[in-house]
């Protein structure tokens, strides 16, 4: 294993870091918070998108409310996906089966690896999702949120088209 090819050719470095504070509101809210301020659905924080990282990676904080949520097993042809549980219990699928994962647990899935995640615990849970290289996953997340918010029903053909456009191959 060696270092990748250089991508920066300056001599003195640059002051170009981007700090995102923990209290920054989520970029995508899939269900508004309840009257008590608790997360009802899923809130997504776009920590580093493929666009903001020059395609290097996409990093998202995925905060889930207590209701069951998350995708069924699937795979991607163009990117890896990794999961790091921050809080609560998340069910992770590693291609062989489902397992409960808690804070500090990590799953990496190479391209083509079958995986999925669900919050079935009845309590909020939070994790980091990392995609490499950085793909435009925000479009996929936002389209799913819009479908859920509007109650729109998709035909099988429309689901197939949505998944194909976003490298989401369901198994």
The CB density around residue 26, as the number of other CB atoms within 10 Å, is 15
* All domains of the chain in start order, with CATH: 28-170 (2.60.120.10)
| Averaged confidence pLDDT in the chain | 95
pLDDT, residue 33, reads 80
End-to-end alpha carbon distance in the chain? 33
pLDDT above 90 coverage of the chain, percent: 91
Decide which of 77 and 40 is more confident: 77
Q: Is the pLDDT of residue 38 over 90?
A: no
pLDDT, residue 111, reads 98
pTM of the model as a whole: 0.93
Report pLDDT digits (tens) over 130-149.
999 999 999 999 999 999 88
Q: Which of 46, 27, 66, 31 is nearest to 146 (CA)?
A: 31
Report pLDDT digits (tens) over 41-94.
899 999 999 999 999 999 999 999 999 999 999 999 999 999 999 999 999 999
pLDDT, residue 36, reads 85
Phi, psi of 148 (to 5 degrees): -65, -45
């Amino acid at each position: 294993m060696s270092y990748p090819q250089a991508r920066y050719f300056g001599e003195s470095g640059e002051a170009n870091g981007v700090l995102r504070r923990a209290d920054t509101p989520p970029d995508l809210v899939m269900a508004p918070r309840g009257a008590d301020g608790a997360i009802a659905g899923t809130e997504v924080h776009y920590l580093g998108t493929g666009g903001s990282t020059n395609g290097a990676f996409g990093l998202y904080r995925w905060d889930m409310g207590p209701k069951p949520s998350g995708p069924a097993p699937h795979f991607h042809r163009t990117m890896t996906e990794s999961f790091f549980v921050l809080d609560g219990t998340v069910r992770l699928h590693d291609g062989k089966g489902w397992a409960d994962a808690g804070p500090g647990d990590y799953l990496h899935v190479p391209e083509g690896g079958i995986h999925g995640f669900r919050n079935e615990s009845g309590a909020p849970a939070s994790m980091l999702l990392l995609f490499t290289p950085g793909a435009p996953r925000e479009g996929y997340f936002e389209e799913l949120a819009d479908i859920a918010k509007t109650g729109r029903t998709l035909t099988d053909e429309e689901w197939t088209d949505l998944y194909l456009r976003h490298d989401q191959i369901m198994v």
